[in-house]
A and B are shown apart, each in its own frame.
Chain A
């Protein structure tokens, strides 16, 4: 079958999709977006978390056909998404991409080895700064989940953070630095709003 949907603000068309394929498989193997990770394929680990019409979902549990006509945001689009949210002050996060923005979108030049020069969202930068990344396999899913939580809850308590991220397993960090990163992103976001 053919599936038409929007990924990170761009219209995408996936052909020859087998009915049993997950959204995760289509993103990774058909659309060249391997950022979302496959660590359990049964919705237990959260490594494949993406936003489907603004709602965080395990993309391994979403059949590709279910996303027909809908909007998906993956870790690859997180920086653009956060930037647009900031510019448009879109509180719900489901504001989508304007036609003009979509037409102007192009791959950004960055150092392919280190990623230097890449523009990051606040939560992405906070994960690096706080030491929340070790092997990094859980990171894409955690970033999408944490970004969505901060959109809803700009000043979260530790309990809020733990509750929101309880569906995302990390085996390396013991979660302390992940908590630090979310606190840091929230604080920076708060400072930014205070200065506006």
Chain B
């Protein structure tokens, strides 16, 4: 692993510190079935909540009759919009445009209309089915043309959010242009120009643990809420006004989270469970089934992308123009920030001085779209990487060499004018995936005939090798890390150190949502490294400690990891103060040397032991709760897109090797190699796991994953794992990973956020490989068999 400088002095005397592949503290509970996920919550006397959702995408609600549902035995409450307790009836991450329950109108298929609480989930389901809702259907808008037509029905007439003033049409959530240099003038220097129109399908996060939680009414009139979420404090900020309760009366605790990938940034069942619990005075549990989960969270924005690139004969890119249209669906969710990412990262990891960029997100009657791993950068990467291959072909150049020739480096300016001020090893990552030996050809051949398991179609036995062609494709991408555009992206950590049973023990308490990424593992490693103790207790995440920000944007190891490191340093200072007070007169080093905590002792940087932490602390406990922030960022200028909007970048490259049965249009990905710069691998095992997982989600949207929305009715046609396919172990190839560690000197330990970058380049690499195998243009993802067979 290559390394350029480590910004922090590290000692590794204490076992289990950063850089080691320590095992998950929740691992044992997760393999024995004892780990309590939000859907496992149980309370004596609890009721089950059920949500009635709209069966149409856009309609006026003429009437709702709940009488028959209420009359069912076992039903405790049925709630509609009229039962909401306060004047605040909407919520939302940035724009509060999402109704808790529909009021007079539904704007998308599956919108919550009414709630039921009953003593058995089936009773609740059947009662919900007995609620009579009369709809008067309205015309739907489903794409840019219908949404921005002069007579288009407005999704949110009279909207007054902070984007309303600068958008060209009220059905556009947000628009971000970025103009730098003079693309038209630069185009005149181009020897070749390539253009393309690309389509990105609607992807679902498809986390395996459906939305769920338990709300328990408390004696003080408040509520205790146990949920799976990505950001407890953001939930709390949105829940409290709707319930009409002060935030301190809603005590939230993170339950076990069965994956997230962006799909738990928005609220799902939180307010509904609280409303039912407060109404009935009983604990209420809500668990979505898979069908409902497809309606219960936002998806990745489907997109249309128009791109133009030019280059001189020697392969230097002259300019880029693009227009990115993201479909945000009926409510804003994270659309404005997705627009910011898509536009500011639309150039990719390349040096292009003259650009003309526009990105917008639409309001339509399609399902709401928002955060998913890669967040706007994924759609752009799919398109600009297709363009790179087109450009290489037009220039008769090797596609990797073209990319390397134009690759961004440290110091390159983004189209926003912001310099990339940490290592950007784009050319090196490409070199690494290309240098890897290719998997042998025709691996299915053996002396006993074809092993169909190694062929497209597998045990379906659709080919023994006839009609099968191989292709290889490359892609590279850039993702921002952390919340951008001036957001105050802080985290809070409470760290306590004391002697328990004759041993120094550190306790780390944050509100970070552990969704599977392994943040809890890393927090313990940081505490061991900084405080020199081997015993670290991770307290459950709740709202009794300050906000940790969201588990998204690849930010938690950077920001909450940074907060834990910072609080540990503050605790260490206090511990050393106690030491100086108690023992300072016995040894001059207490005043003169740089002191460290290692292996339960205070030592000098020369290694001399000054005191045992047990003797130093005795029965004293040291505790610090402190906020920590990364460097501030700025908003992008609304007209030019200029501004230092990002904190950090993450780079990954992929090489895909595929085999395609051209007769049936079946694709088998043989290998999907990745190289990624992670800055510093705090836990190498977890780093590899993140890269392989992200790569596989990118593979999914390349060849199988898409929510199909009927363009005439805006209704979702495949809300199940029977019809929405995610990769199985048979669909997933070997994923060799090459990890670089080039430190970002601005970040704790030099680390980089890693979770999202591999999801970007995986998809275009697979598409490039399929194009290489088949010679087809393929301008949309996912690729379906009919796109390959032309039937």
Chain A: which residue is nearest B34 at the CB level? A115
Given A18-B122, A36-B33, A131:B729 Cβ within 8 A = no
Q: B693 contacts which of A124, A125, A134 (Cβ < 8 Å)? A: A134
Query: Chain B: interface secondary structure?
Result: loop
Q: List 30 A-B contacts (CB under 8 A).
A: A34-B36, A34-B37, A35-B33, A35-B34, A37-B208, A37-B258, A39-B210, A74-B33, A128-B28, A131-B689, A133-B27, A133-B30, A134-B517, A135-B208, A136-B26, A136-B256, A137-B207, A137-B209, A137-B259, A143-B31, A159-B454, A170-B729, A171-B208, A171-B259, A171-B697, A171-B726, A173-B689, A176-B692, A176-B732, A176-B735
* Distance, CA A9 to CA B37, complexed state (A): 25
Q: Is the interface of A mostly helix, strand, loop or mixed?
A: loop
Closest A residue, CB atoms, query B37? A137
A109 at interface by CB-CB < 8 Å: no
Q: Which of A20, A41, A140, A165 contacts B729 (CB 8 A)?
A: A165
Contact residue among B32, B257, B688, B689 (Cβ-Cβ distance under 8 Å from A35) = B32
Binds B, one of A42-50, A63-71, A88-96, A188-196: A42-50
Asked whether B33 lies within 8 Å of A75 as measured between CB atoms, the reply is yes
- Determine if A135 and B516 form an interchain contact, defined as CB atoms under 8 angstroms apart: yes
**CB atoms of B454 and A44 under 8 A apart:** no
What count of chain A residues pass the 8 Å CB interface test? 63
> Which chain A residues lie closer than 8 Å to B122 at the CB level?
18, 20
Nearest A-chain residue to B730, judged by Cβ: A166
**Of B35, B261, B729, which contacts A166 at CB under 8 A?**
B729
Known A-B contacts A120-B28, A135-B207, A172-B516; A159 and B451 likewise in contact (beta carbons under 8 Å): yes
Of residues 132 to 146 in A, which have CB atoms within 8 Å of B's CB atoms? 133-140, 143
| Contact for A39 among B24, B209, B689, B694, CB less than 8 A | B209
Q: Does B515 contact A (CB under 8 A)?
A: yes
Q: Which of A125, A129, A135 contacts B259 (CB 8 A)?
A: A135
Q: Residue of B at shortest CB range from A125?
A: B31
- Distance of A3 Cα from B481 Cα, bound (Å): 53
Q: Is B696 an interface residue (CB 8 A)?
A: yes
Is there a chain B Cβ closer than 8 Å to A10's Cβ? no
Given contacts A128-B28, A135-B259, A171-B261, 15 further A-B contacts (CB under 8 A): A35-B33, A37-B258, A42-B720, A75-B31, A78-B32, A120-B32, A128-B23, A131-B686, A133-B30, A138-B208, A169-B721, A173-B692, A174-B692, A178-B729, A179-B729
A40 touches B34 (CB 8 A): no
Report the bound CA distance from A180 to B2 in whole Å: 26
Of listed B257, B721, B728, B729, residue having the most chain A CB within 10 A: B729
List residues of chain B with CB within 8 A of the CB of A159.
451, 453-454
Give me the interface of B with A, judged by CB distance under 8 Å. 21, 23-37, 39-40, 42, 120, 122, 205-210, 256-261, 287, 289-290, 451, 453-454, 459, 515-518, 537, 685-686, 688-689, 692-697, 720-722, 726-730, 732, 734-735
Q: How close is A32's CB to chain B, nearest CB, in angstroms?
A: 8
CA separation between A128 and B22, bound complex, in Å?
A: 10
B23 partner residues in chain A, CB cutoff 8 A = 128-129, 131
Residues of A bordering B, CB below 8 Å: 18, 20, 28-29, 32-42, 44-45, 47, 74-76, 78-79, 113-116, 118, 120, 124-125, 127-129, 131, 133-140, 143, 159, 161-163, 165-179
* Contact indicator B29/A114 (Cβ below 8 Å): yes
Assess whether B209 is in contact with A162, with CB atoms less than 8 Å apart.
no
Cα distance, A12 to B166, chains bound together (Å): 65
Closest B residue to A159 by beta carbon equals: B453
